[in-house]
Amino acid sequence: MSTSRRGRLFAALVVPATLLLLGSTAQATPFSPEVDPVAAINADIAEHNHELGSQIRRVEGDKSTPESQQVAQQPQPGQAIPGQVLATVAGMDVASYQGNVDWANWWNQGKRFVWTKATESTSYTNPYFAQQYNGSYNQGFIRGAYHFATPNTASGAAQATYFVAHGGGWSKDGKTLPGALDMEYNPYGATCYGLSKAAMTSWILDFHDTYHAKTGRYPVIYTSTSWWSQCVSGDFSSTAPLWVARYSSSVGTLPYNWGFYTVWQYTSSPLDQDTFNGAYDRLQALANG
């Protein structure tokens, strides 16, 4: 996300003081009569919150254009899932930067699924999560939650547990997607968080297995091929649906051993937009498990 775009979104955040309590974290600025609650929330967001794809855009750039976005929304024959009809479903993902989302507006634009950020590490929760997660559900969206991983701050098991406890769970109601694990470049330092490929694989497996034990579902894994190739050596293709980020008119080479993608994040303009690789009934099947 560009500095100017982030500034515009921050400027648009108008929230009641009670959200300071709902969205506070261990590092949040304590409330006092001298502290502006909106400023406190915005400072907490700036320091401890990174939205899905923010670091992929920072490192790899967003090369999408209006033309590439149109192409990306069409079925990709080279990425056909065996046994499924060539089709796509339009979706999106959001975080606290979007504030309270006008879900009717996006529904009327054809979006039918969304993942919203729930957590980061074991200290941050999205103060807008309830409006985004429940509001999209009430509008008719098939919705899910995602977790921004920071593998150098806590174990995979600890972060999966925190995620499930703060909105990342799953229920078989036909409208709730499995939680997504956001694996991307470290916003705070070394690309791979100071971990070897083997250690990163073990961390992801720890999250993956813990999430499955707590929910009965394996997480969707969000990543880019470039980051995954640099930082991970393991194979999760048999259990974890792939949500790949590439801001171009083709999805390109996929991360190790995935034969096809389930979701493709193809642009960040005017916000993160995604396409599901299949017809609507296949999206429902992903939700139902």
From residue 269, alpha-carbon distances to 80, 93, 209 in Å are: 26, 12, 34
Residue with tokens 């470049």: 185
Measure the CA–CA gap between 139 and 120, rounded to whole angstroms: 26
Residue 69's region, left for phi above 0, alpha for psi from -120 to 50, else beta, is alpha
> Which residue out of 44, 51, 60, 182 is catalytically annotated?
182
> Which residue out of 93, 120, 272, 274 is catalytically annotated?
93
Measure the CA–CA gap between 201 and 209, rounded to whole angstroms: 12
Residue 252's region, left for phi above 0, alpha for psi from -120 to 50, else beta, is left
Task: Tell me, yes or no, if 93 is annotated catalytic.
Answer: yes
Measure the CA–CA gap between 176 and 174, rounded to whole angstroms: 6
Q: Which helix (H) or strand (E) holds 207?
A: helix 197-215
Count other C-beta atoms under 10 Å from residue 251's C-beta: 22
Helix 3-11, helix 37-48: angle, nearest 10? 150
> Which residue out of 44, 184, 272, 274 is catalytically annotated?
184
Measure the CA–CA gap between 12 and 27, rounded to whole angstroms: 23
Measure the CA–CA gap between 189 and 178, rounded to whole angstroms: 29
The residues annotated as belonging to the active site are 93, 182, 184
